[in-house]
Amino acid sequence: MENHKTPFSLCLDTKDVVIVKPSKPTPSEILSLSTIDNDPNINILCQTIYVYKANHDLTNDQKDPACVIKEALSKALVYYYPLAGKITTLDDGKLGINCNGDGVPFLESNANCELSSLHYLEGIDVPTAQKLVFDNPSQDQTSPHPLVFKVTKFLCGGFTIGMGLSHSVCDGFGASKFYRALVELASGKNEPSLKPVWERERLIGKSYLKEEETFKFLIDKTSLATSPFLPTKEISHECFNLNGDTIKMLKMKLMKESGDDNNVMKESFTTLETLGAYVWRSKVRALKLNKDGKTMFCLAIGVRKVLDPPLHEGYYGNAFVASNVVLKVKELNEKPLFEVVKLIKESKKLALNNEYIRNSINMLETMRKGKIKIEGTGASLVLTDWRQLGLLQEVDFGWKSSVNIVPVPWNMFGFVDLCLFLPPSNLNPSMKGGVRIFVSLPKDSMAKFKEEMEFLKVMKVDEDI
């Protein structure tokens, strides 16, 4: 994300905060969140920026984007009324939503430049990106707003939408459903094509009765690998572009290496599995984790359709579990990479049955009761895949679809354990079928990670990796 240095300081002329309320009366009630929603690791505001080019086909009397979005937001909040409330802590210590129709804080800014001078945010540096979002403005931090907005208009007629959404209330799929509803209403529809449902009671876990006996971590903390670069306050955030050809080459190479062994499986390697294995190993090498320590690959797996019965399509809460692979650093470094890919493939299958999902939710409930929070140590890679969310398609409300989507770094697992796979922006045709890999690492270890990523781009099929 720091590939381009902004050539000048972005200056914004920002108006006062406006509170956008639902356009019609909404239920006044307290709603409980699910066990997954209550995971303390995701109790953060996730900030994402959507980038729109100017639409010169529009007539001059077209409303400005801030007005269009504000109006659409007011209508969307009738359906997604919990997002107009406040996050609160209930008597049992769990999080809930006080649906009081308080409304959503909304900021409007004017920038001193054209979007093209910021490369449409491709490779934007973090301090500049942070200017385009609205940090949670609640004075009372015990009951923050679950949703905040900032619209920034540029001299060219293009604009950005900075959306901050509580991860405790929505996961990526939930956020994309809400955003799509917003866009539909902005484009003139009377109601969203998909109505939201709450149903958080479907994903409530039970704590183990004797947690000190039954509860076990996947990895004993004392056996976790450690990095000489951690702890540190100097974190670098970068986004790496890998095109479709590079990914294809890596897959072919690993399939070839797996030879007959793979015929038994009669399955190919997916982009997620292949790149996941490569990025995990690259990260471990960049952090110089100690060889005898253990490292974990942790993939967020969506369970909306896997549950029996499946969750309603309009469910917008968190609905994922982790599938995990644990290896010693030495093993990860020395094993052929195709074997690591197969371990990831197997762990994904394991996560797709109801017993595993229920056990995972029960474990989260036990951890919540025991006030156990997993800290970021660098020993784990927590991977989230945004490529299936459809956030760069089908979201046209008069300005054609967004050309880019940029996550502002989230302080989840201390930044360093989290990795996002993003769809390529719509700016570079050669990236079709490619992936953007967003990582946060200690500043001093980033050069080695870059080296690993660069090697992938020049690798030959018959070369060792």
Number of H helices, E strands in the chain: 10, 16
How do residues 301-325 score in pLDDT, each as one tens digit? 999 999 999 999 999 999 999 999 9
pLDDT of residue 108: 97
pLDDT of residue 214: 43
Question: 41-45, 90-94, 340-344, 414-418: which has the minimum mean pLDDT?
Answer: 414-418
CB-based contact 237:126 (threshold 8 Å): yes
> Catalytic one among 145, 167, 171, 385?
167
CATH class of 213-458: alpha beta
Angle of helix 271-286 relative to helix 337-350, nearest 10 degrees, comes to 120
The string of DSSP codes covering 191-212 is S-SS--B--GGGG-----TTHH
Domain 213-458 in the same topology as domain 12-203: yes
pTM (2 d.p.): 0.91
Active site residue 396: yes
> Catalytic one among 119, 125, 312, 396?
396
Q: What does the alpha-carbon distance between residue 433 and residue 243 come to, in Å, rounded to a whole number?
A: 7
Phi/psi at 407 (nearest 5 deg)?
A: -80, 135
The string of DSSP codes covering 28-49 is -EEEEPPTTTT-GGG-SEEEEE
Q: How many CA atoms lie within 13 A of 326 on its CB side?
A: 12
How do residues 190-233 score in pLDDT, each as one tens digit? 999 999 999 999 999 998 755 444 445 556 778 899 999 999 99
CB-based contact 420:384 (threshold 8 Å): yes
- Averaged pLDDT for residues 328-343: 97
Q: What does the alpha-carbon distance between residue 50 and residue 218 come to, in Å, rounded to a whole number?
A: 37
Question: Between these two residues, 396 and 153, which has the higher pLDDT value?
Answer: 153
* Per-chain mean pLDDT for the chain: 88
- Residue ranges of domains in the chain: 12-203, 213-458
Level-2 CATH architecture, domain 12-203: 2-Layer Sandwich (3.30)
- Averaged pLDDT for residues 401-423: 87
What would the two tokens of residue 201 be? 């009671």
